Amino acid sequence: MKYNIEKINQIGKMLAEIVEEALAGERKEDVRIGEIEMEVRESLREIGQRTLKYYLENADLEAEAKIECTCGGKMQYQRRRAATIWSVFGKMSYERAYYAGCGCGKGCAIIDERYGIEPGKVTAGLAQLLALSGIDKSFEEGQEWLNAFLLFEVSENTIRAETQFLGELQRKAEEELIKEMHNEAALQKREQMVVQQVPDRLYGSIDAAKVRIEQRAKQGKKAEMEEDWRDMKIVCWYEGELVPNSQRSVRQKEKAQREGTVFRAKNKHYSCDIAEAEQFGKLLWASGCSVFADRVQKLVFVCDGATWIWKLVSHYYPNAVQIVDWYHAEERLERIAEEAFSDLGERQPWLEKITENLWHGNVEFVIEACQSLSKKSSLAKQAVTYFSNNIERMRYAQFRAAGYLIGSGVIESGCKQIVSRRLKLPGAQWNLDGAILTAKARCVWLSGRWQDLVSKRSLLPLAI
């Protein structure tokens, strides 16, 4: 939008006069910038209300006598009827032309339909701000935070409802995508599409984090309640890029000394759900198709050693390169060393040698070393199975030579961002739907697709 700067300057001068009048009772030497700022903000909010009211009321002054009804009949002009909405400027009322009289019994206001307004409800502009708070803070804290910024009160329930409504929009979008990407005709049509921006190499990482769902009765025992912890499964699709020397952190510089180069994730795209692995697999496939994972020249999955993850990867993306996160594997060796060797003088040489072999992809050596400790270390015994099941996923020298990322830090960060930072706030307890919808909305924000989601927002009856 382009604004008339001359008019804005005139309004600015008038606003300064308004603020000066408001502070007239104060001694000038006692007035501080904070007081001036707050007066300006409150004045702007009041002006915003009146501007919005004036704009809406003047948009249909020349009302038509009759208009078409959606049923095919005719509606007749009745009168200018008042409506109330909650906008970013607070509660406000306006009058607009209202039509009724059709045989179907419906009535409408053209202005409301034109601008996506539903009387008595939250406007799309305010809804976006409420949801932004809801995906970042507890609804209680968000209420206090928003009151300070908006200069009027909103309820926890409104914040919760708007946040989860956007999550519901995302869930419906995912359901449509899943339906489409599991339809043979749609997939065949998609194969004929010419796509310009398909990356040469794409990564996928999958993990899960526990979420506490509200207490419910144990099966067959109505009086007894128990906590229910559920897995929030998360997938992140992303690309890798080399971190320039000038941009490397201290940690990245240390990492570069060993690995030679340092990569980081970009263009991250998160999806999540609390669902069984089979159901989540459908989302894994559909979300992958949305970023053309099925079309890239090289698809690489970097995940931990969870069996359910690799089953899904092998089923939906059988040609993908599979890599077990290096840091998970290294950490397992550290735990084995601590359990098996009480003497640091024995522990450290063993750990350095076995870690070096793992680094170079000599997994067979690692398996033999763990087998030799299996009688005195339960962790070593378990590790034999772990490393044996993932031999080809741990050829780290080959992977580094190919320029692949070998760490799944991006998905661990995603679990923290989505689950720990929002769903596990102190005292947080969720019902199943609330946890899923809030997480889905947060995924959209972290993926940089927030505006795409809020543009789809339709209106829902809410109470302030």
Of all helices (H) and strands (E), which one includes residue 332? helix 326-340
* Sheet with 66-68: strands ordered across: 66-68, 74-87, 90-100
Q: Which token pair is 7? A: 């008019």
Question: What is the Cα–Cα distance from 126 to 269, expressed in whole angstroms?
Answer: 26
Summarize pLDDT for 284-319 with one digit per residue, the tens. Answer: 999 999 999 999 999 999 999 899 999 999 999 999
| Helix, strand, coil percentages in the chain from 3-state DSSP, rounded to 5 | 55, 20, 25
Cα–Cα distances in angstroms (integers) from residue 432 to residues 35, 175, 275, 337, in the given order: 45, 18, 10, 40
Beta-carbon-side half-sphere exposure of residue 230 (alpha carbons within 13 Å): 22
What count of Cα atoms within 13 Å lies in the side-chain half-sphere of residue 379?
12
Q: Distance between CA atoms of 301 and 303, rounded to whole angstroms?
A: 6
Q: Give me the residue label for tokens 């690489």.
A: 300
What is the pLDDT, as a whole number, of residue 458?
56
Cα(74)–Cα(103) distance, rounded to whole angstroms?
Answer: 8
Give the residues across from 266 on adjacent strands.
239
Supply the pLDDT for residue 461: 42
Backbone CA torsion sign across 346, 348, 352, 355:
positive
Q: Quote the tokens at residue 62.
A: 């020349």
Residue 227: what pLDDT? Answer: 66
Q: Name residue, tokens 């053309």.
A: 292
Q: H or E element: which one contains 206?
A: strand 201-218
Report if pTM > 0.85. yes
E-assigned strand segments in 88-195? 90-100
pLDDT tier, 417 (very low <50, low <70, confident <90, very high otherwise): very high
Banded model confidence at residue 218, pLDDT cuts 50, 70, 90:
low
Report helix, strand or coil for 264: strand
Please give the average per-residue pLDDT across 433-449, as a whole number.
Answer: 97
The whole-number average pLDDT for the span 51-60 is 93
The pLDDT tens digits for 129-175 are 999 999 999 999 999 999 999 999 999 999 999 999 999 999 999 99
Q: Which helix (H) or strand (E) holds 118?
A: none
- Span of 211-215, 267-271, 319-323 with lowest mean pLDDT: 211-215
Burial class (CB in 10 A: 0-12, 13-18, 19+), 28: exposed
- Residue 217 is predicted with a pLDDT of 57
